Structure 1
């Protein structure tokens, strides 16, 4: 089933822009690290040690801090996009029972409304939805604790560690911060695109 030009503009095109943005940022981060590595190649061992000591903060920024901040920001942007499109779909096909009358928040609220009120064949067991539910815990840690796992309750820490172990391209470093690698956001964009296409087509049936 073809979803039409409106879907392409509202969903596909927006996700393509997010993907282009991610590629632009990752490319610039790599360029900066390449400059540093090229400078080191021209130095002998003692000079290289002095260089690293002098420019350590800059190296740490481009190697660790900037990628972490950028990827966390991009991931939460993609997640917010997904959530907004699910809620928009609920509002577009709103029934006598209003969306505002449903308990819950975000994607869970949208899931309940799409299943129970609009009565679509919601893909509860699809790998994309399972991935999204797990990613919700990643999102919450980033938004509410700036990605610092140690700030979560012990129960939430255990749940998040299980999620990290289940998902690819994500880890927890020695400082107990979530680390998304360069593929995580692109993978989440693909998951989001496949999932939204599925539920939009279900509503159209």
Structure 2
């Protein structure tokens, strides 16, 4: 007869969850870097192609080639922009999923009467954070810097999802407070800008920084959750 496997203890389960989460972010980082490297190579190749051909062309042909390669370069830069926005949207979804996972774990482990989704006053990561704070001794002040930056990141994400990154659409919806907040976030970052006074533009380093912040936050969150479980377990002994 097969022996029944012993159930995984909460400490081991949390350690595995943290490890998998950090691996997922690492994979996202690697994917991001690979795509950015390809874009960089493509633009360099276009520039080299232009420099190699332009010497043998007359003025009219030079203009035609410049227009063609300019269109090609613009297409690559458009793909770069889409890629960066998609990474931010995916990253935010990942973080929200992990926070909601901690909430579900708390609900199941402690037989709590209410789920985090029962709250209608808050939503998203704010709702998850409040639920975790109410039912654990996790001190969010320990990673307040990461949390503040993630909040800003989610505001960028919301604009990308609901308005395609076009802040003018927020004006049409008379959401002036959101516009002010977004412009403040852009002003505070070296890697964000607003193109044509309406379109959010993300530099590669903005995405790099967001991935690092998310990784640090996830590591600190699981470590705090782990410590809380150890303390509670010792108190019951």
TM-score, with length taken from structure 1? 0.91
Q: Secondary structure at the match of 2:151?
A: helix
CA distance in 2, matches of 1:5, 1:157: 40
Listed one character per residue, the Cα deviations across residues 116-166 of structure 1 (whole Å, up to 9, x for unaligned) are: 123421237721111011112101110000011111133221111001111
Which residue does 1:4 correspond to in 2?
15
Listed one character per residue, the Cα deviations across residues 26-79 of structure 1 (whole Å, up to 9, x for unaligned) are: 01111110111001112148344321213433221113x111111000110011
CA distance in 2, matches of 1:151, 1:91: 36
Question: 1:164-183 counterparts in 2 under 5 A?
Answer: 164-174=186-196, 176-183=198-205
**Does the CA contact (< 8 Å) of 1:124 and 1:130 recur in 2?**
no
**Does the CA contact (< 8 Å) of 2:116 and 2:131 recur in 1?**
yes
CA distance in 2, matches of 1:41, 1:48: 10
Which residue does 2:163 correspond to in 1?
145
Which residue does 1:53 correspond to in 2?
67
Gaps of 5+ in 1: none
CA distance in 1, matches of 2:153, 2:135: 25
Which residue does 1:196 correspond to in 2?
218
Q: Secondary structure at the match of 2:201?
A: strand
CA distance in 2, matches of 1:137, 1:155: 12
Q: Secondary structure at the match of 1:120?
A: coil
Aligned with residue 123 of structure 1, among 141, 158, 161: 141
Which residue does 2:98 correspond to in 1?
85
CA distance in 1, matches of 2:141, 2:90: 23
CA distance in 2, matches of 1:35, 1:176: 31
Change in Cα spacing, 1:21 to 1:161, as seen in structure 2 (3 Å) is: same
TM-score, with length taken from structure 2? 0.79
Larger Rg: 2
CA distance in 2, matches of 1:119, 1:147: 37
Q: Secondary structure at the match of 1:147?
A: coil
How many residue pairs match? The answer is 203
Which stretches of structure 1, 4 residues or longer, exceed 4 Å deviation after superposition?
Answer: none
Change in Cα spacing, 1:124 to 1:134, as seen in structure 2 (3 Å) is: farther
**Does the CA contact (< 8 Å) of 2:143 and 2:220 recur in 1?**
no
RMSD: 2.0
Which residue does 2:83 correspond to in 1?
70
CA distance in 2, matches of 1:146, 1:126: 29
1:168 is displaced (CA, Å) by: 3.3
